[in-house]
Structure 1
Amino acid sequence: MIGQLSSRIILLSGWRRALVAFLAGALATLALPPYDFFAVCLVSFPVLVWLIDGAVDTADGGWLRRALPAAVVGWWFGFGYFVAGLWWIGNALLVDAQNFAWALPLAVLGLPAFLAFFYALATLIARLLWSDGLGRIFAIAFGFGIAEWLRSFVLTGFPWNAIGYAAMPVPLLMQSDAALGLYAMNALAVFVFAAPALLADKRHRRTGLALALLLVAAHLGFGFYRLHHAPAVVDEATGVRIRIVQPSIAQSMKWDDAARRAIFDKHIALSEAPPQPGEPKPSIIVWPETSVPYILTRTPEALSRIGEALSDGQVLLAGAVREEEGGGGTGPLYYNSIVAIDDRGEIIDAVDKVHLVPFGEYLPLEKWLRGLGLQEVVEMPGGFTAAASRRSLSVSDGLAFLPLICYEAIFPSELGYSGPKAAAILNVTNDAWYGNTPGPYQHFRQAQLRAVEQGLPLIRAANNGLSAVVDPYGRITDGLALNAVGVIDASLPSGVDPFWGTPPGVVQTWTILVLMVAASCGFQVLSSRRFD
């Protein structure tokens, strides 16, 4: 039966082949949060393999001509994957629909159409290494591994919803990320997801399926071993108590002048609320990204009010817009920042966002695009300015955090920093832009995996959710649901040493990719000799 199905898919052509590729890519998004039904990838990727089997050009036009049909299949697969997985980005443009609704097709269709070229490249690379049987499974895994690695940095990068996340939906299955990192996991995940295509083959079927099952067993076994030897989820060894404030302010109100005082008072009230009976007061209070509705250097009364709200020894870490005078008469510069404020109402430290969102927080090719009448989505004259480098945020004597503002948490290769060693990752964000959609769930999962890779607990404050404290094994110690209003009072878990002493990166990624390409080339050579 599977052989008949594969034959029918291989023989598809024209719009039917494109439609099946699109639907296979769209189906794969059910493996992502909030659904986490990873089994769909065991259908989507075999279909993609069979589509590439049939994507051939018999004309004698050189290697590119022969591989181009496979690239087209990959593009349609990617287009389906990114449309179904990122449609919610359009919600941000409807917050100020009068100014940005015109760009809705660009966000919902244009961005996926661009990102789909990475998957077109993946299938083009795979087709160049294609052979029968098991060799093509290694080839497609290598192709996607390269494509997802490129997607992490090309044009500032956008590795959102990398395929590897589908293989890591729960802490048991997250531990391999500590040893291998996301980019290596992308290639291994595709290998396992594509392996069922071998059910329709006679050659290498048992070998390939056995290897896939071995990888799954290793994935599960390593997760079980690591969690079995991990300390209890609630670990009070640090002695630090954290309060995370989740106010759930509607995005349409965020910069409404008439609502600023009410927004500020809501944050203060949640911060001043007494802890549960028998629980100690938190020593650190965290507000989400851009939670302070004022420029603090212009509004000393806001700093005074914060100082009054804090008890002796408490520190507030708040997302705020920081203003700095620009040079050469260019006007003020604005930074998306986290500020640390002590119980006297004084700013004791501040860090700025390094990796800004293109078109959201700044305009690429600014002079040209502004000349066309375009502007960034954020309501800030001239957009935000990026910090030159990342450094840790000093909270108190001997305690520092690694600050990640909003989507900085999706870049595992950009978490190097200077300054004191961090005791935790501090991720502040405002996902109210995206409403009740999969976006906030996807964002949280990616931040959760950064904790596993870095061996650091995660403190995550999101305006409307998902806010949580996560230990360095990816386990949630406490959290608030999407759109809930309230606070989290929790102990800060201890960190652990990264699996290799440092977070996984280049060595692990390229070890896996080299093994994949070597295996695919080896099978390609064997296949060519068989037909000689």
Structure 2
Amino acid sequence: MIATAARFCSALSGWRRRGVLTLLGAVTVLGLPPFDIWPIAFLTLPLFLWVFEGGRTKKAAFGAGWWFAFGYFLAGFYWISNALVVFSPDFWWMVPFALVGLPVVMAVYYGLATVLVDRVIPASELPEGTARRLARILLLTAAFVGADLLRGTLFTGFPWNVFGYLWSGSGGLSQGAAWLGAYGLGVPVLLSGFLPALLPNGRPGRFALATAFAIPLAFLIAGTLRLSDAPDMAAQQADANRPGLRLVQPNIPQQEKWKRDLRVRNFEQHLNASRVNRPDWVKTVIWPETAAAFAIDQAEDYRVSAGAWAVPDGGLLITGAPRLLDDPKRLYNAAVALNGAGTMVATYEKSHLVPFGEYVPLSQYLPFGKVAAGAIDYSPGPGPQTLSLPGLPPVGPMICYEVIFPGAVVDPDNRPDWMLNLTNDAWYGHTTGPYQHLQHSRLRAIEEGLPLIRAASTGISAAFDAYGREVGRIGLGENGILDLRLPPAIAPTLFARLGNLFAIGLIILLAGVGFALRKR
């Protein structure tokens, strides 16, 4: 039956082939949040490989990777189009470009990956034996992880839902990110998913199937053992020596966030949530991205009000807010720390801006502005920084999607003790986007061995310890607060020391073994 399925997939052509590849890519998204059905890869990836083997031309080889990735991104990125109409219906005409155009472009990386693999080992030269098919699997794994790396780096990068996130929903499996990072975790994910495609090869195929199951089992055991050695979270939260934090999630709809007539109401909502029933041990209040919907450095009255009302005695308020500088005129998406007098004691400017959201590339040639509020494009800040704040351990702030870039979230020369992500997921409504964004944040905590605190305007606010374990959350679409003790950092992980070099090394290793097997 398996051999029949393999022959059927290999024989597909025309629109049936393209449709099946697109469907397989879309179904693979079930392995991502909020579904987290990670074993789906054991079904979709072997079927994809069999369809790929049926191509006999360069065009067919490119099409195999492109159509599969197109389906994966179409189902995984659909929520982006929601952002265009949430703020203003005037952007309706951009929906097709976001919904279809982005997957069309991103899929090119994976089409080139399958072309490269087919050039090294053409499908027309595959013998009945196992060695060359195994070589093709190793090369394809290396090529797809390489495509993930390129997609996350080139043209400002967009590493959303790289294949390593297919294991992110499992507490044990996701611990592999501490060693490999999100990119490197794609190696065992893809390799174990592709190996069952060797089943039609008889006894070697059965050994390949056993290996496919052994790979995630080994990671699951290793991850579970790592978690079993982790300190008790309840004891950490009971430690009176740990700093106390309050997260505020106001759940203000995006359509109301920037309206001038609602500015005072929105500001007061943040102030009241900061103060209500606040325990004495909470000394730091954290508001989300652009919680202050005005240029905070030019609004002294608002800063003084925030300091007097929201800041605990001897503590701080950390809030997202625009910063507008006059000479020369520059606008920043910033995080600002205020003391009780409303004085700015530290600032951080977002460095990795969202194309077309916060600035428009080649804006002088395009007839439209950015999607976010305001006529001025945001300017980028200097990059990852560590801020020293009174009463707190050194912190590495990130704003919005800066958190999705593995290996680029903290200053390696001045490592912080915790990470802070201020975000606004109101753009994406009740879609899969906020859940995926949250999981990206969680993996950064595992990778770096640092606790991560996440405050969302509306979305999912949460706190993770240095092992990625959830301390608490405010759910999607909820108006609420979360009081907690800041979990401690642990020793730098293997990934924190090596970064994405490990993933690059694995790509080279797989490619080398694949080339060696190719000659057999």
TM-score tier, shorter chain, comes to over 0.9
1:365 aligns with 2:362: yes
Q: Report SS of the residue matched to 2:285.
A: strand
* CA distance, structure 2, for counterparts of residue 95 and residue 47 of structure 1: 38
1:458 corresponds to: 452
* CA distance, structure 2, for counterparts of residue 18 and residue 8 of structure 1: 14
Q: Report SS of the residue matched to 1:358.
A: coil
Aligned with residue 344 of structure 1, among 336, 341, 344: 341
Q: Report SS of the residue matched to 1:283.
A: strand
For residues 46-96 of structure 1, the C-alpha deviation after alignment (integer angstroms, 9 at most, x for no partner) is 111001110113xxxxxxxxx331111111111111111111111111124
* CA distance, structure 1, for counterparts of residue 413 and residue 64 of structure 2: 47
* CA distance, structure 1, for counterparts of residue 35 and residue 60 of structure 2: 32
Matches within 5 A, 1:107-126: 107-126=98-117
From the superposition, tell whether residues 482 and 393 of structure 1 become closer, same or farther in structure 2 (CA, over 3 Å): same
2:167 corresponds to: 167
Q: Report SS of the residue matched to 1:313.
A: coil
1:286 aligns with 2:277: no
1:83 corresponds to: 74
* CA distance, structure 1, for counterparts of residue 341 and residue 88 of structure 2: 41
What is the deviation of 1:148?
0.4
For residues 210-255 of structure 1, the C-alpha deviation after alignment (integer angstroms, 9 at most, x for no partner) is 3323322221111011011110123145510110000001000111
Q: Report SS of the residue matched to 1:87.
A: coil
What is the deviation of 1:420?
5.2
Moved more, 99-108 or 232-241: 232-241
| Contact 2:410-2:416 within 8 A present in 1 as well | no
What is the deviation of 1:202?
2.9
Aligned with residue 253 of structure 2, among 250, 253, 257: 250
Matches within 5 A, 1:3-14: 3-14=3-14
For residues 7-54 of structure 1, the C-alpha deviation after alignment (integer angstroms, 9 at most, x for no partner) is 101000111100000000000011111111112221111111001110
Counterpart of 1:303, as a letter, is R
1:353 corresponds to: 350
* CA distance, structure 1, for counterparts of residue 107 and residue 361 of structure 2: 21
For residues 80-129 of structure 1, the C-alpha deviation after alignment (integer angstroms, 9 at most, x for no partner) is 11111111111111124432111000000001111111111222222234
- Structure 1 runs (4+) deviating above 6 angstroms are none
* CA distance, structure 2, for counterparts of residue 360 and residue 425 of structure 1: 24
| Contact 1:394-1:420 within 8 A present in 2 as well | no
Matches within 5 A, 1:160-199: 160-199=160-199
1:530 corresponds to: none
* CA distance, structure 2, for counterparts of residue 165 and residue 421 of structure 1: 25
2:318 corresponds to: 317
2:461 corresponds to: 467
Per the normalisation by structure 2, the TM-score is: 0.94
Aligned with residue 491 of structure 1, among 481, 485, 496: 485
| Contact 2:463-2:473 within 8 A present in 1 as well | yes
Unpaired runs of 5+ residues, structure 2, are 127-131
1:48 corresponds to: 48
Q: Report SS of the residue matched to 1:223.
A: helix
1:227 aligns with 2:227: yes
Matches within 5 A, 1:24-173: 24-57=24-57, 67-130=58-121, 131=126, 132-173=132-173
2:422 corresponds to: 428
1:411 aligns with 2:405: yes
| Contact 2:66-2:111 within 8 A present in 1 as well | yes
Instruction: Give the aligned CA root-mean-square deviation in angstroms.
Output: 1.6
* CA distance, structure 1, for counterparts of residue 88 and residue 345 of structure 2: 39
Aligned with residue 262 of structure 2, among 259, 267, 270: 259
2:129 corresponds to: none
Counterpart of 1:258, as a letter, is D
* CA distance, structure 2, for counterparts of residue 38 and residue 69 of structure 1: 28
Aligned with residue 239 of structure 1, among 239, 242, 247: 242
From the superposition, tell whether residues 368 and 203 of structure 1 become closer, same or farther in structure 2 (CA, over 3 Å): farther
1:204 corresponds to: 204
Counterpart of 2:284, as a letter, is I
* CA distance, structure 2, for counterparts of residue 410 and residue 492 of structure 1: 22
1:517 aligns with 2:514: no
* CA distance, structure 2, for counterparts of residue 447 and residue 503 of structure 1: 19
| Contact 2:178-2:495 within 8 A present in 1 as well | no
Counterpart of 1:335, as a letter, is Y
What is the deviation of 1:504?
4.1
From the superposition, tell whether residues 51 and 385 of structure 1 become closer, same or farther in structure 2 (CA, over 3 Å): same
* CA distance, structure 2, for counterparts of residue 510 and residue 435 of structure 1: 36
Aligned with residue 377 of structure 1, among 371, 378, 385: 371
For residues 426-476 of structure 1, the C-alpha deviation after alignment (integer angstroms, 9 at most, x for no partner) is 001000000000000000000100001111001000111210110011100
What is the deviation of 1:515?
1.8
Counterpart of 2:160, as a letter, is W
Counterpart of 2:368, as a letter, is L
> Percent identity between the aligned chains?
35
| Contact 1:90-1:108 within 8 A present in 2 as well | yes
* CA distance, structure 1, for counterparts of residue 519 and residue 414 of structure 2: 52
What is the deviation of 1:397?
5.1
What is the deviation of 1:342?
0.5
For residues 300-328 of structure 1, the C-alpha deviation after alignment (integer angstroms, 9 at most, x for no partner) is 1111111111231120000000111243x
Q: Report SS of the residue matched to 2:380.
A: coil
Per the normalisation by structure 1, the TM-score is: 0.92
For residues 359-394 of structure 1, the C-alpha deviation after alignment (integer angstroms, 9 at most, x for no partner) is 10001112222xxx1111011222100012321122
1:272 corresponds to: 275
1:393 aligns with 2:395: no
| Contact 2:181-2:495 within 8 A present in 1 as well | no
What is the deviation of 1:421?
3.8
| Contact 1:30-1:37 within 8 A present in 2 as well | yes
2:332 corresponds to: 335
For residues 338-366 of structure 1, the C-alpha deviation after alignment (integer angstroms, 9 at most, x for no partner) is 00000111110100001000010001112
| Contact 2:292-2:319 within 8 A present in 1 as well | yes
1:218 aligns with 2:212: no
* CA distance, structure 2, for counterparts of residue 12 and residue 362 of structure 1: 44
* CA distance, structure 2, for counterparts of residue 138 and residue 421 of structure 1: 36
Counterpart of 2:390, as a letter, is S
What is the deviation of 1:418?
6.9
